[in-house]
Structure 1
Amino acid sequence: MFSKVFSGAVHGIESRIVTVEADISDGLPVFDLVGYLGSEVREARERVRISLKNSGYRLPAKRITINLSPADMRKEGTAFDLPIAVSVLVSLGFLTEESLESTLFIGELSLNGEIKKVNGVLPIVYMAYEQGFKRCVVPACNVREGAVVQGIEVYGADSLTQLAGYLNGTLPMEPCILRQEELAPEKEPYEVDFSDISGQKLAKRAIEIAACGMHNILLIGPPGSGKTMLARRIPTILPELSFEESLEISKIYSVSGLLNNNQSLIRNRPFRSPHHTITTTALTGGGRFPMPGEISLSHLGVLFLDEFPEFNRGTIEILRQPLEENEITITRLNGTYRYPANLMLCAAMNPCNCGYYPDRNKCTCSLSQVKHYLGKISRPLLDRIDISIEVPQTDFKELNKSAGSVNTVDKISADETSADETSAEIRERIKKGRQMQKSRYQKENIQFNSQITPKMLSVYCRLGKEEERIMEEAYKRLNLSARAYHRILKVARTIADLEGAEVVNVNHLSEAICYRSMDKKYWE
């Protein structure tokens, strides 16, 4: 008897329908799986056979053939165990085809018939909804993840026996329905705040601008100056995720298997901080079975690369394409995989091996050593960093102020003591700046100022005569590339947005130019 069951497979962070066909006929007792299958899918033969036996369903001594189509797509993973088992049960007459109407199945089977957690449930359920399916049956551990998708019933099954009872109408099973507050991706509280950091007003200002326009930023300074502290507080000033953004990030984490059991959505913007020994594949994604890397896991959030020059040169050079195109493309023999990479890069580094250049009283490096150390960061990569800012050692008075110490020589006023802004105050300004960007680009296929194309600059970053004169002078004096010129204009546009200005003026442009001066100081 012939039967057909629907399942899904992940390709990148998108999904495709997979049809599982079963046929049981007279012949030698074999269990064949066909359809361009990976080793895990071929191994499903034994998992399904023993799982059915231990669930009370003994296979007949007949020829069982399972076909997974389309045949031009390689099927990987263990999520096809459940649809294969269901298709066999239909062919054996234990289930009716009517009970499977408009239903999609995904799940891994254990040998005792339990249905185990799998990766990629969220994008598969979302695809099922778009394709017009009415029900999805997923592992119970994944049910809240799948239930995020509205407009389709998502059922969580613990075992093959329970599922068969539900499909036969002998056991009850209710779809998972999330409460409205569970669908609202409210930001979870952070334990850190920008007010924890004393001083560093210039660095905080640069980070605020970078966060508002999603610009890439490089922090340069001696050891212990606060570069890492500043970077780790960037997520606290980023606006809350919208439902669409949360869903987009959650898809990536679902494919990567990074959603916890029964977690529905990622609620905070990602902050990824890989060690400098990371491999190229781990950073970009890929592997034998392509998976998102740290770049894609930072989508709509922050990728923090501490000790930037210590990363393998070839590894960080890979950043060029995703920083320019906001996506990363991985090509393999069995297809091309695209992962989103709309992120804010924050890199931190010392200016030399010992960390104290250009302070010749502390620096023990020769000029050739300094040049070699800085040379680990290529000019093409520097060109893609919008803002470079020095993070000097914090002044003693600032540190003393944060400790609340007051002496008779230098009393600190109450106003000075509370001068360091909180993350909430900074975030409110960034929200207003981003709202201006959202209104401006509602007819464009972009979200942030950092994504403005050269063609759009003439529309959204028009300069007056005085601004053009200043820009021309900076272009010649700093020996800027065309890319650096465009990025200065984008940063100036963000500074104007933070001030609520519709037009970029001299002050906005001058500040943006200052953030490119570090290139000339250290790399020329």
Structure 2
Amino acid sequence: MAPRTLIIGTPESADLLSRQVAMVADPPELIGVVLVDGDPGIKSINGLSVLGPIEAIGAVCSAAGVAQGIVSLPAAYRDQWRSISTELRRSGVIERFVTPMDELLNSAPAVGEQASVQLSNTKIDLGKLVGRQAHSIDRDLVGENVTDQCVLVTGAGGSIGSELVKQIASFGPRRIVLMERAENALFGVDRWLKEIHPEIERVAILHDVVDASTTLSHLERWGPEVVLHAAAHKHVPLMEDHPSHAVTNNVFGTKSIADACVATGVDRFVLISSDKAVNPVNVMGATKRIAEMYTQSLAAQVESIPGSDTKLSMVRFGNVLGSACSVLEIWADQISAGRPITVTDERMTRYFMTIPEAATLVLQAGSMSGFDTFGGGEVFVLDMGEPINIFTLAQRFVRACGYSPVIGEPAGGVGPAEVPIILTGSRPGEKLHEQLSYDAEELTKTAHPGIARFNEDLDLASGSNPRDRVDDPDDGCQIHKRGVCGVSDAAGLVELREPIEEDFEIIFAMTQDPIANEMSKVYPRSREEFRARWDFREENPDGLVRTILLDGETVGRVSCFDAEGETNVGFMICRAHWGKGVMSTALRLFLETIDQRPLLARAAKSNIGSCRVLEKCGFKKIEECVCEIEIDLDDTQLQKETVVGLPDAAVRESLERVRSAMGNSGYPMPRGRTLINLAPAHVRKEGPAYDLPIAVGVLIAQGVIQQRVPAGVGGVGVGSNWSGGVGESSEELFGLDPRSVLIAGELALDGRVRPIRGVIAMTSLAKSLGLDAVIVPDANAPEAAVVDGVRVFGVSSLAQVVGLFNGGLELEPTPAVDVASMLESSRASVDFGEIKGQESVKRALVIAAAGQHNIVMLGPAGTGKTMMAKALPGILPPLTPEEAIEVTRIYSSAGELEAGRGLISSRPVRTPHHTASSPAIVGGGIVPRAGEISLAHHGVLFLDELPEFPRRVLETMRQPLEDRVVTIARAHGSVKFPASFMLVAAMNPTPRGDVAPGEVGQQEMDRYLSRISGPLMDRIDLHVEAPAVPWKELSGKATGSTTAQMAEQVLGARLMMRSRQGATVNSVLRGRELDEMMSLSESAQILLEQAMTQLGLSARGYDKVRRVARTIADVSGSNQVLPEHIGEAVQYRLLDRRV
């Protein structure tokens, strides 16, 4: 598939470039031109549309799905290259720069010993060098997993890692965490991110992922949702000489970061693997294979680990062009130094792709994990195209640098424009030809043409996976055989490929003694060091000799002992052969050695004590879940405060606020280690509401707040009992049962207690659990007091809380709020009496307000549609007490409740702009938040200029309009927000506001109305035309219906509904309930049948007409639905024939 390509340049250079591109064999798909310093009147160049000026690059790339941009500018415009490059990278577009002709002609020829070859030189198109065309990316899918997320990249300073960072930044993540152990590389990528994307929060961590405990701490602190693991040793010959480093970094590094991801609830983990992991014949490939298999085994356990739903996947691909140690970099250095370039074997082939394309497909593949299987576990294989012959590639590269290749070193020497190519022979660990998958692996296609996948079924219990084809050792390569051995039990059974010889080399070994492992860095540095730790021989006088078996055949005997004669070898890799079956055995022994199988048991023991949790806990912003806080003090350890239990950044930062607040209030933090556990551990803890209970818990553990709990342990809760499940107390503190108190609040550094969100939900939870009281910030006390049956104590400082519990302060509960007395009718800025004309529309608005029906007003600009929408709240009936509390809970949880306001006392009215996004309208975000439709619950949602809203946004409202609830699903769970609102929409018939006469005007109106889908319009009960007001009415006095008159009609209709069907309004009547409420005469039935036939109403439209007719009858004071009520209801289906 030809990539969609944008040309960027001056009119002259763009014209020349477009003609040249059209002449290539397989031209890309040119979609248009962006001009630099062009005449605004130029509309096209060489048949390509001019899509805008240079400032529009980002918008054009996003709207047109551009895959690559080709920039052709004279040298005089070089100062603009950086800004163009930045815009292309932000848009996730591959950038290609054409060297300016004037610069090329004026430059010195690239010959001689002083010449320098740079791969960044625009002359060398790496993609063209290997004949690749870049794949495009599904930006919507990747954006769903990256935009507004925290993304962590290990190996962030490497070739792939740094490119991943650059492409991730173009999707607008909330935070990028850069994890790298090379300080210069980390500095470089951090500086780039700071300069190019200052708007993105960045965290640079100088860290080695092999350090498991610190890795876990970093993930707990920064809470990434996506982790891309690019850190690894990849240089094959170097790892042959340092195998233990390859095992430590590639195997244990992967285990460390993958375990931490599962433990902290990361949404997606992506391991970047290599084609050398397939039928490995070198240390690097073997370690990458074990890393793959460990990741797969961990993915298989995710479903069984409480609270974990991490999706783990692997992305396997071949070599990348232009990486730090790639063959092209080596050749470039050799040419620059005037030396011959080297090729190991003229038959050798490799798979290649560019770094930007590899990073793009890694992001794409990582976003596709977990579609079919819980926990993921997929191995994604990138389409690398056909393998490239290295010898042929060397010749192409020499020519691309402006030289002529010469095979070998001629006796007479070479000319100044010639570069010799020398064959050096294969190096240790090299194959002639790489594979992207095992023969037995059945690759399946995915939705992306550049990515295939498979799920491997690992039989770790027996290690009996079929061993696939292994490269013939006599195929011309200098292959070093490899193998795996290990001790799977105390008896010391070891599996090897060949008998042990005197010079047999153990390249990695790990004991079952963690202290010994730590002291020796978990690997012996030499055979001598290994022999010093284990006795390894064929004969043993004690008889503890075990036969070495492979496939039932004896291949040698071995015994493994430590200095005391105890067998304690855990996991070893030795010089033998890397068959697939042996690799399975290696992983099985590795898992046994590191005690991976008890993982589930350890997870089950992670919670101390008991806690009561609501059945529907998870992402709850409207209904909070029970959370228990446990404090453990240990003064025998160094000073350190740690919070665990899946906290977010705000909760982790609470330690600093708590320390300062306690110190400034006269209560210093305790010495030694302070461990704070937030249970249940599988629920993510968010926001600053945990500050106050953490401080109180520490004070209880210190004994500052008197409560009888086990020594050194204190527990409090946000939605939990005071005893924390770790101790019980019969003592009552100032009339409060310590097991029946909820507490929440944010602390200022001076000890003041600041208001928080969601207090009314917390108080409702306390009431539902039968708890006695809540302690909340003083500013939130009026809000909490709305819920009756629970005592509310508002506090303004930490010292006040201490006095409250120790008896030094008498604090009266906040008086309960009489909700009914606070309710009031909605106030409108406009009275209907001020609006001239439009009596038919006013009538329709009365009907809509009475039955809570959705309504759309259609008419030319300036006919009063918006004014009538603004006047509508004045005729709505007051909220009921139950409705007021429910609306207040939504606003409180969303942070929309005004400070000091305890209750939403009138129906809400929301008026979002037509540029609002889908999450803004229906709700969304990493942690689901209520959208406009939920904020309009029991109120009005007014959408002005309805067709101007993006169709995708409008379509997301279809289900909430029908079900009166919206479900936001995320990887960690889902949440339902109420959305029983009345939709009021206004629209012009055409974009210009009126309708031109004749057929042209009708076509224009039809096109404009087609922006709204039929199913959406079908869900709107009343379609009303608001025609232009005649001059006579416009120039006279306003004599129409007033707000007071219309409100009286609405209230009368609501009273009829209440007497007949309770609190249910007509717009939500369904099925049998609707049939029971309809009492149709025979003539009304006939009229309704005719309307169905002539208008072609759907079954939904049929029910809409009946509901509206029922409301019209209520407004008219009629218990029976008459023919005239049906007729009027049918008239309100104005757009059924137009959309």
Are 2:785 and 2:817, in contact at CA under 8 Å, matched by a contact in 1? no
Give the aligned partner of residue 627 of structure 2.
18
Residues 1:57 and 2:692 are matched in the alignment: no
Q: CA deviation at 1:306?
A: 0.2
Residues 78-129 of structure 1 show CA distances to partners (whole Å, capped at 9, x for unaligned) of 1011111111100000012343442111101122211111110111111112
Query: In 2, distance between residues paired with 1:423 and 1:69?
Result: 53
In the TM superposition, 1:22-171 aligns within 5 A as: 22-28=631-637, 29-97=639-707, 98=731, 99=733, 100-171=738-809
Query: In 1, distance between residues paired with 2:923 and 2:1096?
Result: 35
Are 2:651 and 2:687, in contact at CA under 8 Å, matched by a contact in 1? yes
**Given residue 697 of structure 2, which amino acid in structure 1 is its aligned partner?**
S
**Given residue 506 of structure 1, which amino acid in structure 2 is its aligned partner?**
P
Are 2:879 and 2:905, in contact at CA under 8 Å, matched by a contact in 1? yes
**Given residue 490 of structure 1, which amino acid in structure 2 is its aligned partner?**
R
Residues 178-236 of structure 1 show CA distances to partners (whole Å, capped at 9, x for unaligned) of 56488532236444211111111100000110111111101000000000011111110
Q: CA deviation at 1:4?
A: 10
Give the aligned partner of residue 1009 of structure 2.
374
Who wins on radius of gyration, i.e. which is larger?
2
Are 1:5 and 1:86, in contact at CA under 8 Å, matched by a contact in 2? no
Give the aligned partner of residue 1101 of structure 2.
484
Give the aligned partner of residue 68 of structure 2.
none
> Residue 133 of structure 1 aligns to a residue in which SS?
coil
**Given residue 370 of structure 1, which amino acid in structure 2 is its aligned partner?**
M
Residues 37-84 of structure 1 show CA distances to partners (whole Å, capped at 9, x for unaligned) of 222112212221222112111122222111111223211111011111
Query: Are the structure 2 counterparts of residues 12 and 181 from structure 1 closer, same or farther at C-alpha, using a change threshold of 3 Å?
Result: closer
**Given residue 899 of structure 2, which amino acid in structure 1 is its aligned partner?**
N
Query: In 1, distance between residues paired with 2:675 and 2:611?
Result: 14
> Residue 380 of structure 1 aligns to a residue in which SS?
helix
Higher normalized contact order (CA 8 Å, seq sep 6+, divided by chain length) = 1
Worse-superposed segment, 283-292 or 23-32: 23-32
Are 1:246 and 1:266, in contact at CA under 8 Å, matched by a contact in 2? yes
Alignment equivalent of 1:360, drawn from 997, 1008, 1014: 997
Are 2:1097 and 2:1136, in contact at CA under 8 Å, matched by a contact in 1? no
Residues 1:438 and 2:1030 are matched in the alignment: no
Query: Are the structure 2 counterparts of residues 382 and 140 from structure 1 closer, same or farther at C-alpha, using a change threshold of 3 Å?
Result: same
Give the aligned partner of residue 351 of structure 1.
989
Residues 1:399 and 2:1009 are matched in the alignment: no
Alignment equivalent of 1:219, drawn from 844, 857, 864: 857
Give the aligned partner of residue 517 of structure 1.
1134
Residues 407-439 of structure 1 show CA distances to partners (whole Å, capped at 9, x for unaligned) of xxxxxxxxxx6x322212211211121122222
Are 1:12 and 1:338, in contact at CA under 8 Å, matched by a contact in 2? no
Query: In 1, distance between residues paired with 2:1043 and 2:636?
Result: 71
Alignment equivalent of 2:1046, drawn from 423, 426, 446: 426
**Higher share in helix:** 1
Are 2:826 and 2:876, in contact at CA under 8 Å, matched by a contact in 1? no
Q: CA deviation at 1:162?
A: 1.7
Query: Are the structure 2 counterparts of residues 277 and 155 from structure 1 closer, same or farther at C-alpha, using a change threshold of 3 Å?
Result: same
Are 1:183 and 1:243, in contact at CA under 8 Å, matched by a contact in 2? no
Residues 10-62 of structure 1 show CA distances to partners (whole Å, capped at 9, x for unaligned) of 71411222111112124323212111222211221222122211211112222
Residues 311-352 of structure 1 show CA distances to partners (whole Å, capped at 9, x for unaligned) of 011001111000000011001122211111111101100011
Are 1:299 and 1:342, in contact at CA under 8 Å, matched by a contact in 2? yes
Worse-superposed segment, 167-176 or 347-356: 167-176
Are 2:829 and 2:871, in contact at CA under 8 Å, matched by a contact in 1? no
Give the unaligned 5+ runs of structure 2.
1-607, 708-730
Residues 1:390 and 2:1025 are matched in the alignment: yes
Are 2:763 and 2:774, in contact at CA under 8 Å, matched by a contact in 1? yes
Are 1:147 and 1:178, in contact at CA under 8 Å, matched by a contact in 2? yes
Alignment equivalent of 2:1085, drawn from 468, 473, 482: 468
Query: In 1, distance between residues paired with 2:819 and 2:986?
Result: 37
Give the aligned partner of residue 422 of structure 2.
none
TM-score by length of 2: 0.43
**Given residue 388 of structure 1, which amino acid in structure 2 is its aligned partner?**
H
**Given residue 967 of structure 2, which amino acid in structure 1 is its aligned partner?**
T
> Residue 794 of structure 2 aligns to a residue in which SS?
strand
Worse-superposed segment, 13-22 or 505-514: 13-22
Give the unaligned 5+ runs of structure 1.
403-416
Give the aligned partner of residue 325 of structure 1.
963
Give the aligned partner of residue 973 of structure 2.
335
Query: In 2, distance between residues paired with 1:375 and 1:327?
Result: 27
> Residue 675 of structure 2 aligns to a residue in which SS?
strand
Of all paired residues, the percent bearing the same amino acid is 42
Give the aligned partner of residue 409 of structure 1.
none
Give the aligned partner of residue 413 of structure 1.
none
Are 1:386 and 1:491, in contact at CA under 8 Å, matched by a contact in 2? yes
Query: In 1, distance between residues paired with 2:837 and 2:1047?
Result: 18
Are 1:5 and 1:21, in contact at CA under 8 Å, matched by a contact in 2? no
Give the aligned partner of residue 299 of structure 1.
937
In the TM superposition, 1:492-511 aligns within 5 A as: 492-511=1109-1128
Are 2:888 and 2:904, in contact at CA under 8 Å, matched by a contact in 1? yes
> Residue 510 of structure 1 aligns to a residue in which SS?
helix
Are 1:3 and 1:91, in contact at CA under 8 Å, matched by a contact in 2? no
In the alignment of these two chains, the number of paired residues is: 500
TM-score by length of 1: 0.91
Query: In 2, distance between residues paired with 1:142 and 1:158?
Result: 10
Residues 1:244 and 2:882 are matched in the alignment: yes
Are 2:629 and 2:679, in contact at CA under 8 Å, matched by a contact in 1? yes
Query: Are the structure 2 counterparts of residues 193 and 367 from structure 1 closer, same or farther at C-alpha, using a change threshold of 3 Å?
Result: closer
Give the aligned partner of residue 405 of structure 1.
none
> Residue 144 of structure 1 aligns to a residue in which SS?
helix
Query: In 2, distance between residues paired with 1:396 and 1:291?
Result: 48
Q: CA deviation at 1:372?
A: 2.1
Query: Are the structure 2 counterparts of residues 316 and 425 from structure 1 closer, same or farther at C-alpha, using a change threshold of 3 Å?
Result: same
> Residue 14 of structure 1 aligns to a residue in which SS?
coil
Give the aligned partner of residue 449 of structure 1.
1066
Give the aligned partner of residue 866 of structure 2.
228
Query: In 1, distance between residues paired with 2:924 and 2:882?
Result: 25
Residues 1:255 and 2:872 are matched in the alignment: no
Q: CA deviation at 1:244?
A: 1.1
Give the aligned partner of residue 201 of structure 1.
839
Query: Are the structure 2 counterparts of residues 494 and 181 from structure 1 closer, same or farther at C-alpha, using a change threshold of 3 Å?
Result: closer
Worse-superposed segment, 268-277 or 178-187: 178-187
Query: Are the structure 2 counterparts of residues 367 and 519 from structure 1 closer, same or farther at C-alpha, using a change threshold of 3 Å?
Result: same
Query: Are the structure 2 counterparts of residues 427 and 178 from structure 1 closer, same or farther at C-alpha, using a change threshold of 3 Å?
Result: same
Query: In 2, distance between residues paired with 1:58 and 1:263?
Result: 35
Are 2:919 and 2:925, in contact at CA under 8 Å, matched by a contact in 1? yes
**Given residue 198 of structure 1, which amino acid in structure 2 is its aligned partner?**
K
Q: CA deviation at 1:5?
A: 11
Query: Are the structure 2 counterparts of residues 182 and 156 from structure 1 closer, same or farther at C-alpha, using a change threshold of 3 Å?
Result: farther
Are 2:787 and 2:816, in contact at CA under 8 Å, matched by a contact in 1? no
Q: CA deviation at 1:474?
A: 0.9
